[in-house]
Structure 1
Amino acid sequence: MTPFTIEQNNYLTQDIQAFYHTDFGGAQLPNNPNFLYKLKNDPHHNWTDYRLQEAQQEFLRVLLNDLPEVLRQINKTPLTVCVVPRAKAENSYNPNQLLFKATVRIAINRLGNNFIDGTNYIERHMNTKTTHIRQPMEGYINDGSVPYVGITNATCNISNDVIGKDILLIDDIYTRTVNIDEDAIQSLIDKGANSVSFYAIGKTVYNH
């Protein structure tokens, strides 16, 4: 696990302490967290139940190893764990397409009282553009807006339970230029969270 800083920009009013598990550079690269593709379970895949469960177990091992270290470095207890929602409205996914959030919930419940389950505190009610799909896919309508300042508040319901809490916001992949995570962090700050930190499984590798 590696610490980094999410720097303030047009989407975010302050620097944020952040962490990521490993580099994300594509399925062909060694040590890429390829289990994330299975947890998304997008329509162009047809993963078996065994492969989905295998991916969940791999993800769970990562969380159980990393989250206690995140807690130690942030040094705030308890941490309320929220998840950046998927791009489309929550009710448009079946349970096997929401395994990322489900696995985070399992990890929190195993880790004890230092973590509070806030995985349902941010729920998307309006479709947004899926940023990681660059080419049209048969049978998949990639509707909705691309990221803009305030997109989280406009397309999500955010629970009042975040008010006054120290939040750890989790996403699958952090990409600096997309700004979905920055906007989600700012929405939690605006809602009244006491503090927000961030953790991603993968951080996009840039080739310059």
Structure 2
Amino acid sequence: MTPFTIAQNNYLTQNIQAFYHTDFGGTQLPNNPNFLYKLKNDPHHNWPNSRLQEAQQEFLRILLFDLPEVFRQINKNPLMVCVVPRAKAENTYNPNQLLFKATVRIALNRLGNNFTDGTNFIERHTNTKTTHIRQAMDGFINDGSNPYVGITNATCHISNEAIGKDILLIDDIYTRTVNIDEDAIQSLIDKGANSVSFYAIGKTVLNH
């Protein structure tokens, strides 16, 4: 696990303490977290249940190893864990396309009282553009807006339970040039969170 800083920009009013597990650069990169493709389970993949379960177990192992160290470094007790929602409205996904959030919830149940479960506290109600799918696919309409300042508040319900809490926001992949995570962090700050930190499994390797 590696610490880094998410820098203030047009989407975000302050620097944020952040962590990531490994580099993300595509299937050809050594140690690339390829299991994330299975947890997304986009329509063009349709992974069998056995592969989905393997991906969940790999993800769970990482969470159980990394999150206690994140907790130690942030040093705020308890940490409420929220998850960046998928791009489309929550009710458009099958349960086997929401395994990322489900696995985070399993990890929290195992880790105990240092963490509280806020995995349903940011819930998408309006479709946005799925930024990692750039080509047309049969049976999939990639509708909705590309990221813009305030897109999280405009397209998600954010629970009042976030007010006054120290929050660890989790996403699968952080990409500096996309700003979905920056906007989601800012939405929690605007809601009244006491603090927000961030953790991702993969951090995209950029060429610039």
Normalising by the smaller structure, the TM-score range is over 0.9
Please report how far the alpha carbon of residue 28 of structure 1 lies from its aligned counterpart in structure 2 after TM superposition.
Answer: 1.6
How far, CA to CA, are the matches of 1:138 and 1:205 in structure 2? 29
Q: Secondary structure at the match of 1:200?
A: strand
Counterpart for residue 200 of structure 1: 200
Task: After TM superposition, give the deviation of residue 207 of structure 1 in Å.
Answer: 2.1
Distance in 2, matches of 1:119 and 1:91, equals 15
Aligned to 1:97: 97
How far is 1:185 from its partner? 0.2
Give the corresponding residue for 2:150: 150
* Distance across 2 between alignment mates of 1:174 and 1:134: 17
Q: Which runs of 5+ in 1 are unaligned?
A: none
What is the match of residue 170 of structure 1? 170
Partner of 2:88: 88
Identical residues among aligned pairs (%): 88
CA–CA separation in structure 1 for the residues paired with 2:177 and 2:48: 33
> Structure 2 regions of 5+ residues with no counterpart?
none
SS in 1 for 2:123: strand
1:187 equivalent in structure 2: 187
Q: How many residues align structurally?
A: 208
TM-score (normalised: structure 1) = 0.99
- Report the CA distance between 1:206 and its aligned residue: 1.1
Where does residue 35 of structure 1 map in the other structure?
Answer: 35
Indicate the residue corresponding to 1:126 in structure 2. Answer: 126
Correspondence for 2:72: 72
SS of 1:5's equivalent? strand
Q: Determine the structure 2 residue equivalent to 1:13.
A: 13
In structure 1, what is the Cα distance between the partners aligned to 2:52 and 2:77? 32
User: Which secondary structure does the structure 2 equivalent of 1:173 belong to?
Assistant: strand
Per-residue CA shift, 1:57-113, capped at 9, x if unaligned?
000000000000000000001000000000000000000000000000000010000
TM-score by length of 2: 0.99
Paired letter, 2:174: Y
Mapped to 1, the partners of 2:45 and 2:20 lie a distance apart of 26
Structure 1 Cα separation of the partners of residues 138 and 28 of structure 2: 23
Counterparts of 1:131 and 1:45 in 2: how far apart (Å)?
17
Whole-Å separation in 2 of the counterparts to 1:23 and 1:138: 30
Q: Which whole-Å CA distance do the structure 2 matches of 1:161 and 1:143 have between them?
A: 30
Q: Supply the distance in 1 between the matched residues of 2:43 and 2:30 (Cα, whole angstroms).
A: 25
In angstroms, what is the RMSD of aligned CA positions? Answer: 0.5
Deviations 1:109-128 (A, max 9, x none): 10000000000000000000
